[in-house]
Amino acid sequence: MAKKAVFLDRDGVLNVEAGYIYNIEDLRLIPNVAKAVKKINDSDFFCCLVSNQSGPARNYYPDSHVKALHQRLEQLLWQEAQAKLDALYYCPYLSPNAGGINPEFTYWGTWRKPNTGMLVAAAWEHDLDLQGSFMVGDKATDVDLAHNAGLTGILVTTGYGTQVVEGKYQHNTTPDYIASDLSEAVDWILQWEKGNR
């Protein structure tokens, strides 16, 4: 039986939006996200990170730096609430016209959101039911990704979310739900699931 998942964007959803993070210590959790992730862990949902990370393609830092940031993210989640991500996917690739310059990572890829590659890979590798799953993000592209793959898309107003709602960032999109932060989003998902069993 395929599992349902809650897919989470990283910057602005789990950690404080701080642009490109050059120092590992500058990755800080948004208040209460560890508890929210723990709630996902304690439910029947698979918890999975899906994040665009174009730093390597832009030659800002190596791919190993992204991995180190994710290691810190996992440590902080665990320290704060014994919370964990069941899987992590990220896209270090960027097309040349979008600003990619490092040849190792510069090309158009199906993994870059709002393309569905990361979700398809996760579903394939972990036997996930995408149509019963949720995507939580702070950008229009996260909501677009959800809808492109048949998921329910939730926009949080942390990170860039408020600017998206006001039409000042990226483009207009129609989330299935707007939450103030990840805690509210997770509570909504669990309520929705309970009501639709």
Q: Decide: residue 91, CB within 10 A, 0-12 exposed, 13-18 middle, 19+ buried.
A: buried
| 127 labelled catalytic | no
Looking at the chain, list the stretches that DSSP marks H as alpha helix, in order from N- to C-terminal side. Answer: 33-42, 63-81, 117-126, 140-148, 161-165, 182-195
> Could you say which of 11, 142, 144, 181 is catalytic?
11
* Cβ contact 188:179 at 8 Å: yes
Residue 86 · residue 45 · CB < 8 Å:
no
Q: Determine which one of 9, 138, 142, 181 is catalytic.
A: 9
For the stretch 31-58, what's the b/e string if a residue is b when 16 or more beta carbons lie within 10 angstroms of its beta carbon? eebbebbbbbbebebbbbbbbbbbbbbb
Residue 9 known to be catalytic = yes
Across the strands, what pairs with 135? 7, 153
The residues annotated as belonging to the active site are 9, 11
